[in-house]
Structure 1
């Protein structure tokens, strides 16, 4: 269970009545979606940032931009539980925007101001080397 997001944090993104209707007033569903959102974010942020410090922060010590992205992803997952075919366009757009932002952070195009970085030796040891090849184009029989 994550302590990074409080229930009152959702007030800036979704009305309490809508959240209660989507989760049928079951707070465990919210906690599960929060944990999934944080796990998804860790995949992108762990390359450069100390995710343990970022997501263990509470109250005013939390990075507000990271908190907003986490809430957008969690709310998207909550909405998909209800009716994924009738998903609100704004929720889909905010989720896609959050993922695009996370991809930019992972590609080191942008940085998260105030987020704790991993130690230099840990960041250097992570290799960006990837080996690929093209598909075979011609077969001779």
Structure 2
């Protein structure tokens, strides 16, 4: 898996993780896969998400790992009774989404593998458009 037990220690304690995941490895695994897909939805147009999530150990981008943990914890906490601890999870989730939107808009440029075309050139995920100045024919 992309996320390990050690990665969660940065954002949540071990006993709190057991409570949030409801001591179910299946619940945790589903939340992690949902978090990866959510991140990929933002990054896929420009970055190679298969290579990003296939990386292991120190090869991984630490910020993406942290935000993946935050998003997974947010999804796990949503299923808890009375939404226990949801305030901090929601805050960290919104921060992760804000960062992903910044990356998607091109305002933040992380060190991630880019998508390459057949020639090995980076694929641009942006469109350039424009039009001529509007003409008014009022005589």
* Structure 1 and Structure 2 fold alike (TM over 0.5): yes
- Note the 1:52-91 alignment, pairs <5 A: 52-83=50-81, 85-91=83-89
Q: Between Structure 1 and Structure 2, which shows a larger proportion of helix residues?
A: 1
Q: How does 1:1-141 map to 2 (within 5 A)?
A: 3-83=1-81, 85-112=83-110, 114-119=111-116, 123-124=123-124, 126=125, 128=127
Q: Deviations over 1:37-87 (max 9, x none)?
A: 000000100111111111000111111011011011011111111136455
> Number of residue pairs matched?
126
Q: CA RMSD in A?
A: 2.1
Higher Rg: 2
Aligned equivalents of 2:95, 2:127: Cα separation in 1 = 25
Segments of structure 2 that go 5 or more residues without pairing to the other structure are 130-139
Please list every run of 5 or more consecutive structure 1 residues that lacks an aligned counterpart in the other structure: 131-141
1:117 Cα deviation after fit: 1.1
Q: TM-score, normalised by structure 1?
A: 0.80
Q: Which runs of 4+ in 1 moved over 2 A?
A: 83-88, 120-124, 126-130
TM-score by length of 2: 0.81
**Separation in 2 of the partners of 1:73 and 1:59?**
20
Distance in 2 separating the partners of 1:27 and 1:97 = 26
Distance 1:46 1:67, change over 3 A: same
**1:49 and 1:83, CA in 2 relative to 1: closer, same or farther beyond 3 A?**
same
Give the CA deviation at 1:128.
Answer: 3.6
